[in-house]
């Protein structure tokens, strides 16, 4: 990094030695996975820069915002409405949860067989290595799965600024009413945190900003339908991951610039992989930075990833928020409607999700689906068998993979993925 951020990290109370070790591993992994790719779009240079400064310049920007009395809200889930945070004059950022850290310390607080994502969020806090966590004026947890629900009871004793949002488990009129009530409660909490009253104008502006971010990713997703694929799945995943960290306007502009470049590539029939390369759709658990293991295995085994049915992918961004409401209640209804369409595996029944996987397979010309489940993530692992059965009934090959953030199973996974790719290539 060009600037020495050590004093800044020290002021946040971070463990400098542990953080240096984390950045070393992150940098090496990024070099070997991302920078080793060939024929990347030039526009990915921006995202390379973002990743090189993800704990540096971006944190400095957030701390500069705090000096101007703007509040920072950290979240772990796509159900937390960025529109409301922005409308209240706050900045919403994603929090660290994509790698194992301080595992021994974490297992003093959580059972060993807790899912990696939950353990990771504890590890980054207990290890004092996530500057986003340490910068946040409010940390928003959400009662998606039972694991998170119980973990937040413990997490509340580790952080002093935790806000927990309840979420419905059934898509019913009562479930929607609960979500609406929770968003009204969150709106009040944001107003109390920031000291700003949310108005029709500020909420419309928040909706406009977030819709623009999502629309840019929709444009990118549409361009991935081309064959040959104009961008790797790894690079597209990175854009989806940076969505949660970056300045919204800058992010939107940067994704649209890549899309301009990809449109030219498509016209010239240029791809990052040869035409007719086997096309994979990844479905299942979210992949937070730096969880790149499975996409890297897939794209170094002779296939290209053309879509992600994931919270860090289409599930999290595919629907826009209606902005035509004339008053606050109408706008809050529109926000509730938008988020109630998210087909997370917490819902029962969840037919919408498997239907959407089939839609994506057809839209992106996928030759097969790899269903990704984090070990001990009960909702997605429980849904993986019905999803596989549905796909195979209509002739779409599907492979279920259950793994964690460790690298010990890379050889075994690569063997299985290569066999699957060979099967769908026949």
- What are the structural domains of the chain? 5-199 (3.40.50.11890), 205-319+345-425 (3.40.50.11900)
SS (H, E, C) 205-241: HHHHHHHHHHHHHHHHHHHCCCCCCCCCHHHHHHHHH
* Count of residues in the chain: 426
Q: Is 164 helix (H, G, I), strand (E, B) or coil?
A: strand
Q: Is 307 helix (H, G, I), strand (E, B) or coil?
A: strand
Instruction: Report pLDDT for 63.
Output: 98
Q: For residue 383, what are its two tokens?
A: 């849904």
| Backbone φ/ψ region at 128: left (φ over 0), alpha (ψ -120 to 50), beta | left
Whether the ω angle into residue 349 lies within 30 degrees of 0, i.e. cis, is: yes
Residue 400 backbone phi and psi in degrees, to 5: -95, 130
Residues of the chain with pLDDT under 50: 1
pLDDT one-digit tens code per residue, 58-104? 999 999 999 999 999 999 999 999 999 999 999 999 998 999 999 99
pLDDT at 1: 45
Task: Give the pLDDT of residue 2.
Answer: 64
Residue 426, pLDDT score: 72
Place of tokens 């809200």: 73
Q: How far is CA 296 from CA 91, 221, 321, 376, in A?
A: 31, 19, 33, 22
Q: Which residues contact 361 (CB under 8 A, 6 or more apart)?
A: 281, 369, 391, 396
Q: Could you report the per-residue pLDDT of 336-367, keeping only the tens digit for each? A: 999 999 999 999 999 999 999 999 999 999 99
């Amino acid at each position: 990094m060009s600037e020495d951020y050590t004093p800044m990290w020290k002021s946040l109370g971070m463990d400098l030695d542990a953080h240096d070790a984390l950045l070393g591993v992150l940098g090496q992994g990024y070099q070997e996975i991302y920078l080793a790719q060939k024929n990347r779009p030039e526009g990915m240079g921006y995202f390379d820069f973002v990743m090189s400064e993800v704990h540096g310049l971006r944190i400095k920007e957030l701390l500069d915002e705090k000096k101007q009395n703007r509040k920072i809200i950290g979240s772990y889930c796509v159900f937390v409405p960025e529109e409301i945070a922005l409308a209240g004059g706050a900045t919403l950022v994603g929090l660290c949860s994509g790698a194992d850290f301080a595992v021994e310390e974490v297992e003093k607080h959580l059972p060993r067989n807790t899912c990696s994502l939950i353990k990771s969020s504890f590890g980054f806090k207990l290890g004092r290595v996530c500057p986003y966590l340490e910068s946040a004026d409010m940390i928003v947890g959400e009662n998606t799965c039972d694991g998170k629900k119980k973990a937040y009871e413990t997490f509340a004793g580790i952080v002093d600024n935790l806000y927990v949002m309840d979420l419905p488990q059934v898509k019913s009129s009562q479930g929607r009413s609960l979500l609406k009530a929770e968003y009204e409660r969150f709106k009040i909490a944001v107003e109390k945190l920031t000291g700003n009253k949310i108005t029709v104008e500020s909420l419309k502006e928040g909706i406009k900003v977030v819709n623009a971010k999502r629309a840019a990713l929709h444009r990118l997703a549409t361009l991935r339908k081309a064959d040959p694929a104009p961008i790797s799945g790894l690079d597209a995943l990175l854009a989806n991951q940076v969505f949660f960290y970056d300045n919204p306007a800058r992010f939107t502009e940067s994704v649209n610039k890549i899309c301009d470049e990809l449109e030219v590539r498509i016209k010239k029939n240029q791809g990052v992989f040869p035409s007719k390369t086997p096309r994979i759709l990844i479905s299942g658990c979210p992949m937070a930075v730096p969880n790149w293991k499975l996409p890297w295995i897939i794209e170094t085994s002779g296939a290209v990833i053309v879509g992600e049915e994931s919270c860090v992918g289409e599930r999290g961004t595919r629907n826009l928020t209606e902005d035509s409401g004339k008053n606050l209640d109408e706008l809050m209804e529109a926000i509730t409607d938008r988020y109630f369409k998210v087909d997370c595996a917490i819902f029962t029944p969840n037919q919408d999700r498997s239907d959407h996987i089939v839609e994506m397979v057809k839209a992106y010309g996928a030759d097969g689906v790899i269903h990704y489940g984090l070990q001990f993530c009960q909702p997605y692992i429980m849904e993986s068998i019905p999803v596989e059965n549905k796909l195979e009934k209509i002739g779409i090959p599907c492979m279920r993979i259950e793994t964690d953030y460790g690298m010990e199973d890379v050889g075994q996974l690569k063997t299985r993925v290569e066999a699957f790719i060979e099967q769908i290539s026949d």
